[in-house]
Structure 1
């Protein structure tokens, strides 16, 4: 195991892979994959109907997925009744979709909360600023390509 205290891509990657494994465990037994989960969860988090085109663009930018993959996930959620289309090109979670999102968050939340509680709040704030800065810089580079 790497005992270096310097933040580096390996440490970030390991943390991301562990987060993904926890999510995979929480999604077991649902019909959702990671893309569908993120599309559903972000719609629930919005707290109001979202404009479909802008929403797809935002999720694609946030995740670095291509728009077609986000559209596919969105369509799957609409077809499964976890999201619903409302007038004017808006989509919103259904009661079933919101309930499923809450179940998945509760399942993964127990593990994540325990892990994050092991770190001092001020250290979490520093980590958030550092990772946000690194992510923004990489996004700038990707936008140039």
Structure 2
């Protein structure tokens, strides 16, 4: 454990992000999934298990700060793997399949155990402060990306 706390900056945030992401990607790889798959499946779950394709692509592209064409490819991969499917009631909407739901639940449960270990013993007030700081940094970065 680090004995002196570094000043929070882009490098410290990136190191924490990539360390956590490496753990997540290890879980996902065991299930044949990628980080982009995980983010996309989560977006569908958060939307209520059925979401408009365009809405999904915009949401995931915004989250990952990537081009919409990348997300379209991810949606196609997930559809080909039968983790997502076109909603039978509305072809412009995408729905989570049972297999997609199972993958999401299994990887979420596994990563929740890892997260519990990573955050164990950190006081709630410290987590709240870190959350506020990171939300503000994200808001400012998003504003910079938007040009304003």
Unaligned runs of 5+ in 2: none
Query: Could you report, residue by residue, the CA deviation over 1:42-85 in whole angstroms, capped at 9, with x for unpaired residues?
Result: 21232231111011111111110110111100111011110111
Deviates more, 1:44-53 or 1:129-138: 44-53
Change (3 A) 1:2 1:8: farther
Contact 2:43 2:56 in 1 (8 A): no
Match of 1:96 in 2: 99
C-alpha displacement of 1:40:
1.1
C-alpha displacement of 1:2:
9.3
Match of 1:113 in 2: 116
> How many residues align structurally?
145
Runs of 4 or more, structure 1, over 4 Å off, are none
- 1:68 paired with 2:69, answer yes
Q: Which has the higher contact order (CA 8 A, sep 6+)?
A: 1
Corresponding residue to 1:125 among 124, 128, 133: 128
Unaligned runs of 5+ in 1: none
Where 1:28 maps in the other structure, the secondary structure is: helix
RMSD value, Cα: 1.8
TM-score by length of 1: 0.92
Separation (CA, whole Å) in 1 of partners of 2:70 and 2:44: 16
Match of 2:52 in 1: 51
C-alpha displacement of 1:4:
4.1
